[in-house]
Amino acid sequence: MGYVAVRGGGRAIEESLRLLEAERVSTGADASAAAVESTLPDLVDQVMGEASLYAPRLAALALKQAQGSPDEAVFLLRAFRSTLERPYVSRAVDTAGMYVRRRISAAFKDVPGGQVLGATRDYSHRLVDFDLASEGAAERADRARALSSHFAAAELQALRATDEVLRAADEDGADPLAACGRLPRALDYLRDQGLLAPAPPAGAVAPPDDATMTPLVIPASRSMRLQTLARGMTQAVEALGYAAIRGFGPAHPTVGELRSGLVEVVIDRPLGTGELADAYYAGTVSVTEVESLFMADARDGGDAGAGSGGVGDGAGAEPDGGESAAEGAGSGPDSAGDGADAGLAFEVGYGMVFGRCESKAIAMSVLDRCLEIGDARYPTQDEEFVLYHVDGVEASGFISHLKLPHYVTFQSKLSSVRATRAPGAGPSSPVEPSSPSEPAAASASSSPAGSDVGAAPDSPDQPRQEDAEGGADAATL
């Protein structure tokens, strides 16, 4: 998990850390972890997602310690998560039972339950509000009271509607809680018509891998790919998703449904019966889920209208994280699964992240479809390229390690450059080591690529080389 210094001038390092702490406490302003959590919720969501730990207060504390650096905060929180015990594993979360706070569809204007815009900046003018510079506590309180009064009538109306729903469910003998705050999936309309690959039957999907406990191995299972994308650096996932849409992947997708809200986390009782009614309710987690639609040709398994990377196997992607049992769906109920009559259909790309990181969830759904196609000629469909380079901790750690001493390796490079410029020396003249004690470093520098020993290895399974001077100057966790 990234690179950290393990040895070197101890006193200088201690003084450097004291100086960093002095800068933090000398500003005269104090932002408590609670204040960070309440005022920067989107940043807290990003840190939790990339750290693979849902703990809003700890994420806010890590941001305070990191002085607002998301990369450092993610490193801190992920390192802390690695020390925690895991006594239980929850049941698979059922997002169909999500208590929805925001739900939109770009594919359908009218969906069962309606479009729920919720709180969003999507339709606002991106103009700086200079009034916030002079906003005080009293002004904030007044504005909060005014907005509370504004929404009071709507909340009362919602409560009355909820009461009617509960009463009707009770009269029909249905589960009252199941009818309250739950919205049907927008894509169920297409599934009912056979335009989407059907979900695999219960028990047909292998248990998901755990990206936090199992090393990433290529080729990876779909569950491992989805977890790696979910905990990937937000900006990296969005950048690669954007590249895929621009022509380095399937054609422009359509967001079939984006829903954000609370999902229940349930843990089976150790000595229980295994039934849901005998399980423990652990709490709720805020998530954002996206299902994107891609047009595919079920006749040859390719993506219809795909861009430069539109060659694939047409394997379906279902929201439960499992792989589809069917390679394509027919264009209608009568032709579903019939290879002779099958035509154009839709495939689904899936994404789900902590909190309200909606752009990341959409980009994740795009990359999920790209990796399902798996055409390695295009970078966004190359599983190894995408999955190994979206991890923010690995990326920032390796880039930061370049600041550590590389004295010996650079001296060997310097010797190579000087040798080629010596009078009468040709470009292919052999280069002698700078000293008898450094044969390994010199020979490494004289390779055709002239690569630094701190560079990335050719294969993820090969150990990284270390600097020869003073032992290893970096270590992987």
CA-based end-to-end distance of the chain: 5
Q: How many CB atoms lie within 10 A of CB 235?
A: 15
Give me the helices (H) in 182-318, please: 188-192, 222-230, 234-243
Residue 352 · residue 290 · CB < 8 Å: yes
Query: Is the preceding omega at residue 219 within 30 degrees of 0, hence cis?
Result: yes
Residue 289 · residue 297 · CB < 8 Å: no
Distances from the Cα of 119 to the Cαs of 116, 123, 124, 193, 358, in angstroms?
Answer: 9, 10, 11, 33, 12
Determine the Cα–Cα distance for residues 61 and 144; give it in Å rounded to an integer: 26
Determine the Cα–Cα distance for residues 224 and 384; give it in Å rounded to an integer: 12
Structure tokens at 251: 């054609």
The pLDDT tens digits along the chain (477 residues) read 455 555 557 788 888 888 888 888 877 677 788 888 888 999 999 999 999 999 999 999 999 998 889 999 999 999 999 999 888 888 888 888 888 889 999 988 888 878 888 888 888 888 898 888 888 888 888 888 888 887 887 777 766 766 666 676 667 666 555 555 567 888 888 888 878 876 666 666 778 888 888 888 888 889 999 999 999 999 999 999 999 998 887 778 899 999 999 999 999 888 777 777 788 888 899 999 999 998 876 555 555 544 433 333 333 333 333 333 333 333 333 333 444 455 677 889 999 999 999 999 999 999 999 998 888 788 899 888 999 999 988 888 888 888 888 888 899 999 999 988 877 655 554 444 444 444 443 333 344 343 343 444 444 444 444 443 333 333 333
Contacts of 386 (CB under 8 A, 6+ apart): 229, 240, 367, 370, 371, 379, 380
pLDDT at 73: 93
pLDDT at 2: 56
DSSP string covering 140-191: HHHHHHHHHHHHHHHHHHHHHHHHHHHHHHHHHT--TGGGSS----TTHHHH
Determine the Cα–Cα distance for residues 57 and 44; give it in Å rounded to an integer: 9
Count Cα neighbours of 188 within 13 Å in the Cβ-side half-sphere.
8
Specify the pTM.
Answer: 0.73
pLDDT at 315: 35
Structure tokens at 281: 């309710």
11 three-class SS: helix
Beta bridge partners of 116: 103
Q: How many CB atoms lie within 10 A of CB 156?
A: 10
Distances from the Cα of 64 to the Cαs of 41, 50, 455, in angstroms?
Answer: 13, 17, 32
Beta bridge partners of 266: 281
